[in-house]
Amino acid sequence: REKVTIQTLQKLRESNVPISMLTAYDYPTALSCSANPSIDVTLVGDSLAQVCLGYKSTTQLTLDQMIHHASAVARGQPILSYSPDDAVRNAVRMVQESQVEAVKLEGGEEIVHLVRRLTSIGIPVMAHIGLMPQRHVALSGYKVQGKNVACAKELVRTASLLEEAGAFAMVVEAVPKELGRYITEHVRIPTIGIGAGPWTNGQVLVWDDAMGTWNGHKAKFVRRFANLQAAREQGVQGYADAVKDGSFPDPVRESYTIQQAEWTRFL
Ligand code: KIV
């Protein structure tokens, strides 16, 4: 498949072809994404903190940890974005050290200057509005955003500001579907929804939510497309049973042998 660029995403938007984005945090997962021509973007999201590293919140993740995982993903998949701290220096480090091609920033008006600065030095920025998990404390939890007129208007305003500042695309998280559609119709850059209804230009899910690798909280907008946790548990049990009952390894199929003559001489 041809390399997916910002222009590709814009073309998908213009031709009403939904953009598919999935998160990945390591090399094998990135390969699964890049091997599938229907996945347009792989995102090293800072959801890494919870689903992969066992932290309670994305705010506990360090930049070094982000770079470590983003580098692994970049080796398996050339297109991705991620969420760094809101500092140009950190974004530059991410791009240089991880070889990612873009950064994703959660925030509204207060990050407009940063979006402008990063795009001006050639670092493409994917914005992230609506529910911003990095601010779950300030937002009093992981709640649907834009449910009243004032908040909805503020989100539309923010979306326009971020577009004007140069964001090439925008994640819209946990907003009513009507607002997801309205924002999509009022900006000219692709919107990628997560819990924002079916009418955004694309969709993103966290890998572990979509593939069922864990049984953490399942938000309303998550659909499980696989049950990797069950498969993994079955595999672990099978391995443990086979070791315990002595059936693994098989002396012929899973063991090496030495020529009988050599063995006799050895003895
Ligand atoms: O961090 C993340 O994985 C994200 C996606 C869910 C959009 O922000």
Task: Give the chain's domains with CATH numbers.
Answer: 6-226 (3.20.20.60), 231-266 (no CATH)
pLDDT tens digits, 101-122: 999 999 999 999 999 999 999 9
Which residues, in sequence order, are CB contacts of 87 under 8 Å at separation 6+?
Answer: 114
Do residues 46 and 58 make contact, with C-beta atoms less than 8 angstroms apart? yes
Among 136, 206, 208, 222, which residue has the most ligand 1 atoms within 8 Å of its CB, making it the best to mutate? Answer: 206
Q: How many CA atoms lie within 13 A of 248 on its CB side?
A: 8
Residue found by looking up tokens 């994305």 in the block:
58
Distance CA 8, CA 119 (A): 18
Say if residue 138's pLDDT is above 90: no
pLDDT at 108: 95
Which residues partner with 44 through β-bridges?
82
89: CB partners within 8 A, 6+ apart: none
DSSP state at residue 103:
E
Average pLDDT, rounded, for the chain? 93
| ipTM summary value | 0.95
Looking at residue 163, its pLDDT comes to 98
- SS3 state at 148: coil
Query: Could you report the per-residue pLDDT of 148-192, keeping only the tens digit for each?
Result: 999 999 999 999 999 999 999 999 999 999 999 999 999 999 999
How many other CB atoms are there within 10 angstroms of residue 235's CB atom?
11
23 lines ligand 1 (CB under 6 A): yes
Round to whole Å and give the CA distance between 25 and 83: 12
- Whether residue 192 has its Cβ less than 6 Å from ligand 1: no
Q: Is the pLDDT of residue 81 over 90?
A: no
DSSP H or E stretch at residue 239: helix 228-244
Q: Which of 101, 164, 173, 178 is catalytic?
A: 173
Find the 23 Cα to ligand 1 centroid distance in Å: 7
pLDDT higher than threshold 60 for residue 64: yes
pLDDT band at 80 (very low <50, low <70, confident <90, very high): low
Please write the tens of the pLDDT for every residue from 201-220: 999 999 999 999 988 789 99
Q: What is the dihedral of CA 74, 81, 6, 200, to 10 degrees?
A: 130
Per the annotation, the verdict on 173 as an active-site residue is: yes
CA distance 127 to 249: 51
Nearest CA to ligand 1 atom 2: 45
The pLDDT of residue 216 is 79
Q: Mean pLDDT across the stretch 234-245? A: 96
Whether 230 has a pLDDT exceeding 90, the answer reads yes
> Residue 86 above 90 pLDDT?
no
Q: Distance of alpha carbon 181 from its chain centroid, rounded?
A: 22
User: pLDDT > 70: what percent of the chain?
Assistant: 96
pTM assigned to the model: 0.90
Q: Which helix (H) or strand (E) holds 258?
A: none
Compute the C-alpha angle 201/107/71, nearest 5°: 75
Candidates 50, 61, 173: which one to mutate for ligand 1, based on the most atoms within 8 Å of Cβ?
173
Compute how many other C-beta atoms are within 10 angstroms of the C-beta atom of residue 63: 16
Please tell me what DSSP assigns to residue 58.
G
